[in-house]
Amino acid sequence: MTDAGRARERAGLDDESLAILAFESEWPSHTSDKEEAIRERLGLEPARFYQLLGRLVDDPSARAHSPMLIGRLERLREARAARRARMLR
């Protein structure tokens, strides 16, 4: 097994999860260009991409692999939740 393969195994992330994290690191903002790139590069529909990304935010292995990205995504999630809560008051 290669060093990269051992590192992935230790991290507990599969190739798809690693690809999603790498892609999100490269495309931090949500645009129509990003949606097309998700389809082309990952072979996923954008809705599925965001479902999987949301699960990765809660995955300790993803945090260990990419702590800055996961932290940023958590802050965005918390900000959206706070906006929704304010709208419901």
CB-facing half-sphere around the CA of 16: CA atoms within 13 A? 12
Beta carbons of 75 and 83 less than 8 angstroms apart: no
For residue 54, the model assigns a pLDDT of: 97
Residues belonging to the chain: 89
Domain spans, the chain: 3-88
pLDDT tens for each residue of 2-29 = 656 555 455 689 999 999 999 999 997 8
For residue 3, the model assigns a pLDDT of: 59
Amino acid at 47: A
Beta carbons of 46 and 38 less than 8 angstroms apart: yes
According to DSSP, residue 29 is labeled S
Does the predicted model carry a pTM greater than 0.85?
no
